[in-house]
Amino acid sequence: MGSDEPDAVDLLGEALPHVVPERIVEVASEQAGCPVAAYVLDVEGLFALRLAGDGDRFPERFRAPVGVGPELIPEALPVLRRLVSDRVGPSTLWPLMVRDRIMGFLLARDPAARDLDALAMQAGLALELASGYTDVVHSVRRRKDMQPAAEIQQDLLPPRLAHVEDGDVAAGVLPGYDVGGDFFDYASNADGLWLVIADATGKGNSAAALSSLAIGALRAARRAGAGLQETARLTDEAIRGLETERYLTAVLASWDARRHRLRFINCGHPSPLIVRAGGHVEELDGERTYPLGIRFKERLFPTVSAELGPGDRLLLYSDGLTERQTSDGSRIGDDGLRGILAELGVVSAAMMVRGLQDAVLDASPEPLRDDATLLVLEPHD
Amino acid sequence: MHGESSEARTTILDEVAIVEIRGELDLAFTIKLKPELNAALRTPARAVIIDLEAVSLIDSSGIALLLNAFRRLDSDGRRLAIACPTGSQRRAFEVTALDRQLPMYATRQEALAAVSATRPPE
């Protein structure tokens, strides 16, 4: 590091966590020789919100549907640049990166004396680290007050975008008006890429409590080395221990990247879809069992296999998507979903999630009645 | 919420309580339906039929309520039968694979016949 290049440690330095955003903007403005502001995306990935910087010079917020949750979609950077210049005129933008994830951006409206790329990378890291210790970043991201159930949901979820061995994962939850207990999870392990999507009955705090327990049981099993069936069984047991009639529908899946093979257990959830290379949508409608948390005399967890390799896209979703009401009084439905996928065409995992989320939001002016969750896996060559 | 226009009505016929539901069985209506269902379960009826023939939509809360009724009746040695036509009305039960576990019949008539048949020897 050059002597006048602050790194993440310098930016965190002696500054208290909650002033790190101001510190970043201070250093950036100094280096650029003009005012700079820092922006993050809201939790729905729809708006850019000013985290720090001169309020007279930089807008507090503007519409920027370029995120999957609060993470910026890399392919959407050109769109963001256009939206920014539409809003504030000629300007320069530098993404705040944490490895390959874009957490926000620095913005200058005047010509910058130097390129801030290196600083932006360090600033991204500093911000990510600081946000573990202070609420300031989280608060700015939340345009609306969040209920406890919504807060739990945000905390439970892993990063929205990930490059895993041999593929890209993109996932998101569009929360219902009264948050509904959906979640997703994934883990790149030695025995394969684990993928989970789940939907708890009910809404609000009780659904959040059930989801929290379920994701805990699931991760505990998986981290102890349990396979698909054992993980399903242990999660089922944990929920039954609550002695409630509430249950969790879920798809638990494991992808073998080398053999191009997906194995999964469907516990009462909408079937996974694979969009094949030519655009054909295949529904993986094999054997299924009933949801987790219920017990009848017989409890089996049948495993289904499917081929999944480069050129394909796997889509796991919750019924909040297909049940979403449309302006004409009906619902998106299975046909509607296939129509949206056909219109989106061949796009990255992140753009597919953003595109599907936009379609769900645009279907009706009414708020969502239920969480709509998506997870897309795009195998690489 | 749509559940506001839903209705439920219980009648007793030959020691069988028939709970007829009309409209959407969603979270909002599930809350209103609980007392009605509890009342039906507390009668001395030897079987309960839940008639969903006029139900347009049933969500996970509705299903959880049915599971609760099934469990309570089962622990009493009493029978539950659910009248639900095949087709779009059964979707929620098919996706959750509960159509294979819950006693489901296409019509109220068939449900009544099922609970009225002599019990096979245990």
**For the segment B22-55, what is each residue's pLDDT rounded down to a tens digit?**
999 988 899 999 999 999 999 999 999 999 999 9
Average pLDDT, chain A: 92
Distance CA A187, CA A194 (A): 5
Structural domain contains residue B24: yes
- Name the closest residue on chain B to residue A206, using Cα atoms: B61
Cβ within 8 Å, pair B96-A291: yes
What mean pLDDT comes out for the span A296-317? 95
Contacts of A134 (CB under 8 A, 6+ apart): A16, A17, A18, A20
Kindly state whether residues A347 and A215 are assigned to the same domain.
yes
Contact status of A324 with chain B (Cβ, < 8 Å): no
Least confident of A31-35, A89-93, A177-181, B1-5: B1-5
Q: A204-223 and A148-156 helices cross at what angle (nearest 10)? A: 20
Sign for the CA dihedral angle at A352, A357, A360, A361 comes to negative
For residue A15, is pLDDT > 90?
A: no
For residue A1, is pLDDT > 60?
A: no
Kindly state whether residues A187 and A321 are assigned to the same domain.
yes
What mean pLDDT comes out for the span A201-214? 89
Structural domain contains residue A3: no
For residue A49, is pLDDT > 50?
A: yes
Contact status of A201 with chain B (Cβ, < 8 Å): yes
Kindly state whether residues A349 and A239 are assigned to the same domain.
yes
What mean pLDDT comes out for the span A160-181? 87
- Rama region for A333: left / alpha / beta (φ>0; ψ in -120 to 50; rest): left
Q: Give the tens place of pLDDT for each residue, A226-285.
A: 999 999 999 999 999 988 889 999 999 999 999 999 999 999 999 999 999 989 999 999
For residue B102, is pLDDT > 50?
A: yes
> What's the predicted TM-score (pTM) here?
0.89
Option in B27, B61, B98 nearest A290 (CB): B98
3-state secondary structure of B37: helix
Contacts of A289 in chain B (CB under 8 A): 97
Kindly state whether residues A113 and A254 are assigned to the same domain.
no
pLDDT of residue B122: 46
CATH number, domain of B110, equals 3.30.750.24
Boundaries of domain holding A63:
8-141
Model confidence band, residue A43 (pLDDT cutoffs 50, 70, 90): confident
Cβ within 8 Å, pair B27-A289: no
Kindly state whether residues A266 and A135 are assigned to the same domain.
no
CB atoms within 10 A of CB A70: 23
Q: A333-344 and A349-362 helices cross at what angle (nearest 10)? A: 130
pLDDT of residue A171: 96
Structural domain contains residue A153: yes
pLDDT of residue A261: 97
With beta carbons less than 8 A apart as the criterion, state whether A87 and A93 touch: no
Kindly state whether residues A189 and A287 are assigned to the same domain.
yes
Structural domain contains residue B72: yes
Kindly state whether residues A95 and A166 are assigned to the same domain.
no
Structural domain contains residue B121: no
Model confidence band, residue A2 (pLDDT cutoffs 50, 70, 90): very low
Option in A202, A269, A290 nearest B61 (CB): A202
Main-chain phi, psi angles of A85, to 5 degrees: -70, -30
pLDDT of residue B1: 44
Structural domain contains residue A37: yes
Structural domain contains residue B108: yes
Q: Give the tens place of pLDDT for each residue, A90-146.
A: 999 999 998 778 999 999 999 999 999 999 999 999 998 888 888 888 888 887 777
Structural domain contains residue A1: no
Contacts of A203 in chain B (CB under 8 A): 27
Contacts of A306 (CB under 8 A, 6+ apart): A261, A262, A264, A272, A274, A282, A284, A286
Structural domain contains residue A165: yes
Contacts of B62 (CB under 8 A, 6+ apart): B25, B26, B29, B30, B55, B92
Residue with tokens 């809003």: A87
pLDDT of residue A71: 92
pLDDT of residue A101: 86
Cβ within 8 Å, pair A201-B61: yes
Interface test with A, best of B33, B56, B60 (most A CBs within 10 A): B60
Boundaries of domain holding B56:
2-116
pLDDT of residue B68: 93
Cβ within 8 Å, pair A201-B101: no
Contacts of B98 in chain A (CB under 8 A): 268, 290, 294
Structural domain contains residue A154: yes
Structural domain contains residue A75: yes
A326 Cα to chain B: minimum distance (Å): 15
Dihedral angle, C-alpha A242, A243, A247, A248, nearest 10 °: 30
Contacts of B59 in chain A (CB under 8 A): 370
Contacts of B96 in chain A (CB under 8 A): 249, 268, 290-291
Structural domain contains residue B59: yes
pLDDT of residue B121: 47
B24 Cα to chain A: minimum distance (Å): 13
What mean pLDDT comes out for the span A66-74? 91
CB atoms within 10 A of CB A52: 25
Show the beta-strand stretches assigned E in A10-79: 36-41, 47-52, 61-63, 67-68, 71-72
Contact status of A180 with chain B (Cβ, < 8 Å): no
Kindly state whether residues A241 and A97 are assigned to the same domain.
no
Number of structural domains in chain A: 2
* Helix H or strand E segment including B57: strand B47-58
Structural domain ending residue among the three candidates A141, A176, A195:
A141
Kindly state whether residues A136 and A194 are assigned to the same domain.
no
Number of structural domains in chain B: 1
Pull the structure tokens for residue A139.
Answer: 């608060």
Structural domain ending residue among the three candidates A141, A160, A185:
A141
What mean pLDDT comes out for the span A36-42? 95
B16 Cα to chain A: minimum distance (Å): 24
Contacts of A268 in chain B (CB under 8 A): 95-98
Contacts of B81 (CB under 8 A, 6+ apart): B47, B48, B49, B50, B103, B104, B105, B111, B112, B114, B115
Structural domain contains residue B122: no
Kindly state whether residues A135 and A164 are assigned to the same domain.
no
Structural domain ending residue among the three candidates A109, A141, A173:
A141
Kindly state whether residues A281 and A254 are assigned to the same domain.
yes
CATH number, domain of A24, equals 3.30.450.40
pLDDT of residue A14: 67
- Name the closest residue on chain A to residue B93, using Cα atoms: A268
Cβ within 8 Å, pair A289-B97: yes
pLDDT of residue A4: 65
Q: Is A363 exposed, middle or buried (0-12, 13-18, 19+ CB in 10 A)?
A: buried
Model confidence band, residue A205 (pLDDT cutoffs 50, 70, 90): confident
B17 Cα to chain A: minimum distance (Å): 22
Contact status of A258 with chain B (Cβ, < 8 Å): no
3-state secondary structure of B56: strand
Contacts of A2 (CB under 8 A, 6+ apart): none
Long-range contacts made by residues B104-112, C-beta under 8 angstroms, separation at least 24?
B105/B81, B107/B53, B107/B83, B108/B18, B108/B49, B108/B51, B108/B53, B108/B83, B110/B83, B111/B49, B111/B51, B111/B81, B111/B82, B111/B83, B112/B13, B112/B16, B112/B18, B112/B49, B112/B81
CATH number, domain of A179, equals 3.60.40.10
Kindly state whether residues A125 and A179 are assigned to the same domain.
no
